[in-house]
Amino acid sequence: MTILQAHKAIDAVFRIESARLIAGLTRMVRDVGVAEQLAQDALVAALEQWPEAGIPDNPGAWLMATAKHRALDELRRRKLLERKHEELGHELEVRRELAEPDVEAAIDDDVGDDLLRLVLIACHPVLSTEARVALTLRLLGGLTTEEIARAFLVPEPTVAQRIVRAKRTLAEEQVPFEVPRGAELEARLASVLEVIYLIFNEGYAATAGDDWMRPGLCEDALRLGRILAELAPNEPEAHGLVALMELQASRAAARTSPNGDPIVLFEQNRARWDRLLIQRRRPTTPTGRASSPSTTRSRRSRRRRWWS
């Protein structure tokens, strides 16, 4: 494997694993900004070692183990500087995790809960809508600052400032890395759903630029929505949002002409609709919440309009 091939492989692995890495590290160091930096340090280590040593059998576990070692160093530095007893407790916790003989299991420790916590903290109401969108795409979507700026047609320094300010705000407000309960959880999930749909809408009907659609943003939103639906399987709103996005995305190929002009629904070539995405939609929501008659009528009305 050449160095170029190794770097491409590492980039692909990191895009897949970065969200889980950052989520697990945030649980340990309690700071999303520090967690992202530790994940980047692990990426640098991979770029230095993998081209010569080869890609590990479980690259995600290798990255997590490397990042945890660096997290332990970070906690040690904090202990020396701040002399806080709670930092000693974090260090002991990290030591126990590093002492586990099965390093391949390291990437899976509490990964579901950690990812859900990361989703909720990235979309915390204390942040502005623009900051939530940028931070979500950065931490969970794996997009670089340049890619986010290009997707939304804004200057790269603007996106960078939004992300930096968002991390600083989360640290200053001491937002806990936890999953809230009850009414607070519903409100926080609503914030997450809003961010995901904003990302999808910007891809489905761009508000700036010459292109009618930006498919990349639709794909990012769909991926984030599916992650949320998997992490919160009993939340019907999450499944409903994924179904809505999949139905809308199924018509993407038929919405524009070869020269990029928009095509209204009644003039679209239905043979170009993505039947796989249409079939993926969930016919029912998760059990636990009954649908009211008005909700059922609304769904039927929307379905008739969609197929018309």
Convert the pLDDT of each residue in 3-46 to its tens digit.
788 788 888 888 888 888 899 888 888 888 888 989 999 989 98
Separation between Cα atoms, residue 106 and residue 24, nearest integer Å: 9
- Is the distance from CB of 124 to CB of 191 less than 8 angstroms? yes
Separation between Cα atoms, residue 128 and residue 136, nearest integer Å: 12
Mean pLDDT for the chain? 80
Q: What is the pLDDT of residues 71-97, one digit of tens each?
A: 888 777 767 766 645 555 565 566 555
The total number of residues written for the chain in this structure: 308
The token pair at 271 is 């043979």
- Is the distance from CB of 32 to CB of 121 less than 8 angstroms? yes
Separation in Å, CA 53 to CA 6, 47, 64, 98, 175: 11, 11, 17, 22, 40
DSSP 85-113: HHHHHHHHHHHHHHT-S-GGGGGGTTHHH
Q: Fill in the DSSP letter of residue 290.
A: P
pLDDT, residue 308, reads 34
Check pLDDT > 60 for residue 56: yes
pLDDT, residue 181, reads 82
pLDDT, residue 160, reads 95
Q: What is the pLDDT of residues 160-203, one digit of tens each?
A: 999 999 999 999 998 888 888 878 888 888 999 999 998 998 88
High-pLDDT (> 70) share of the chain, %: 80
Q: How would residue 211 be classed by pLDDT, with cut points 50, 70 and 90?
A: confident
High-pLDDT (> 90) share of the chain, %: 24
